[in-house]
Homo-oligomer: A and B are copies of this chain.
Amino acid sequence: MHVYTPGLHILATFTAPVYHLLDAGTCQQFFDQQIAALHLTKVGEVYHTFPNGSFTAVVGLTESHLSIHTWPEHGLATFDVFLSNFQQDNSATVRQLYAETLRFFEATEQTKTEVVR
């Protein structure tokens, strides 16, 4: 039985205006701003835009990762943020980054699951 619990993971699905779901570049700027503001450390990233303009991003952090996948044809996105508590309790930061993401995307939450890992 392990006793170490790495941290909080939020998984969400939200609806948002289509122009946000088609704009990987502005999303990347937003994520980079958040990573800096929240004193997180990026170790690499993948941003991929599909022929229909939807995009997928996964960002590796020393604290774990965040990801987004957009479906503009359905007006929605799935979003994940998982931060470990290696040096400090990052649960509040997970919730803050999620709240800022909803605000940035002008989003309406459809589902949210919190997993304490």
- A interface with B by C-beta (< 8 Å): 1-4, 6, 9, 11, 13, 15, 43-48, 50, 56-62, 64-65, 67, 69, 71, 74-76, 78, 80, 82, 84, 110-111, 113, 115, 117
Contacts and interface: CB of A to CB of B under 8 A. Distances in A.
A9 B71 CA distance: 16
Nearest to A56: B60
Contact of A60 (B57, B71, B76, B80): B57
Contacts of A113: 113, 115
A2 B74 contact: yes
Contact of A56 (B4, B65, B71, B76): B65
A90 to B, nearest CB: 13
